[in-house]
Every structure is written in C-alpha cells, then in structure tokens.
Amino acid sequence: MIAVNLLTKNPVLTLNGINVFRDQFCAVKNVNLDFEAGELVALSGRNGAGKSSLLLAIAGLTNFTGTLKFKESECHHGHHQPGIGYVPQRANLRWDLPMRAIDVVLTGTAGDHHLAGYKNKSKRVKLAWEALELVEGSHLGDRLLSTLSGGQAQRILIARSLVSKPEVLLLDEPLSGLDAPSSQRILDLLKQRANEGTLIIAAMHELDIVQGHFSRAVLLSGEVIADGAPTQVIPTLYVNPTLSEVTV
C-alpha cells in the first residue's frame, strides 16, 4: 500500500480492521484508516472496488466486522449514528414519486429523536428550509422531484443530509451524471462544508477532479491499496494501461 505523509492527530472517524459484507460477500477487507475534521477525502477505484460498501458501513447501513468509531462512540450496523450524514447515489433513487423537494429534505430529520413528534413539526420544517438555503436551493423547495435537473436533485439530497448538521458527510458519486457547471457548484459546496470543519468522504470516479479539488485520496480494490495526497496517489493508477475484460 502507498501511504503518503498522513499523520492524523485528532481523528473524528477511526476504522480498525474493518471488513465490509454485502450479503455473504466480503466487499472490502482489513481497512485501517483515520480521518480528521475538515478533510475532503475521495474514495476511488474501479466499479466493484468497495467504495460504496465502505460508505454504507460507515453510515451503519451494511454489515461489517472490526471497530468503527465516530469520535468516542463505537458504530454498529443498523444503528444510525447522529453526526454522520449519508447521500446515496442519485441514480438509485425514485425521482418520479409525487413529492416536493422540501418533503425529501424533511425526511433527513427522521433519525433525530430530538426532533420527533408533532410539537416539533415547525422546527423540523424550519431546519429543512435552512438546509435548502445552505445548498442555494430555497427556490426549489416547492418543486416536484420529477421536474428537477440532475444537479438540482443532487443539491436536494445533500440538503437532506445537512438537516441533522452532520460532522461527517458521506457521499456516493455525488457528481455522476452532472454537467460541468452543476459539478462545480456541488464541489464548491463540499469545499465550503470542509472548510467549516465537516469531514467529507465521497466515492469518486472523476480522477481529474479528485486531483484538482480533494485533500486526500484513498484507492480501493477490495482493500486499501493507496492513501495520500491525490497528486501523488492518483497517477499510480495510470501505469501500463491495458484493456481488461469485465466480468459481470
């Protein structure tokens, strides 16, 4: 494994000996990583490398073994960890449901028991609109999902994850299918959140963007094969190019 000058002092997230399982299959094994607040981290690697699986494990949404700590709290499969937000792949969601954008953002408050109950409804709505404001999406709140562009939909998903004011934000391919201006807008938003202290971890295919905008890259191929500054780690992928057969 390539590791480049990474000394993590006060990790907000610690992964020790993590093996992630999808059904019975071990998608990624023996992951040992520390992440600090304010880092903008890209998980890269080809399809099936384990990027999405690792994000799901950190979010508590798939089975794993090993020790995963958010600050001092140990995380477990099936238990939502307050403070960790997760943005799934946009393409995996149903966008034809008859819901408004603000309704989607509101579902981001569902896991917070402090906001549960009828008497907190106005507070939840206020937080949802504030989250929309953070992604410059206030004007989209009353729009039906089916009328949103790809970039607008992505901002709605990010707003949903920001409602709970997470210290760790996980995103699965946030730029997939977006045009250049929409991508830039999402990147600016992520950088702004990182500058304000949020740990951002995103599964990313766009290696040029990783090199240009991210502070750290972790390369996966069933396990961690490299970890470090993107400008040093990413070029190791482009060595002896060959076309290999993909087995589905």
Task: Give the pairing type, strands 224-228 and 2-3.
Answer: parallel
- Measured between alpha carbons, how far apart are the two ends of the chain, in Å? 27
Only one of the segments 78-86, 117-125, 157-165, 169-177 lies at the binding site for other proteins (rule: CB under 8 A); that segment is 169-177
Residue 207 sits in the site that holds other proteins (CB under 8 A):
yes
Residue 46 sits in the site that holds other proteins (CB under 8 A):
yes
- Residues in a beta bridge with 20: 28, 64
d(C-alpha 115, C-alpha 106), whole Å: 11
Residue 96 sits in the site that holds other proteins (CB under 8 A):
no
Count the residues of the shown chain that bind other proteins, applying the rule CB under 8 A. Answer: 24
CB of 103 to other proteins, least distance (A): 24
Closer Cβ to other proteins, 206 or 227, answer by number = 206
Could you give the dihedral angle defined by the CA atoms of residues 19, 21, 27 and 31, in that order, rounded to the nearest 10 degrees?
-20
Per-residue string for binding with other proteins, 213-242, x by CB under 8 A?
A: ---------------------xx-xx-xxx
Closest CA to 105 of 182, 147, 163: 163
Closer Cβ to other proteins, 122 or 240, answer by number = 240
d(C-alpha 59, C-alpha 82), whole Å: 10
The contact set with other proteins (CB under 8 A) reads 46-47, 91, 150, 175-177, 205-208, 211, 234-235, 237-238, 240-246, 248
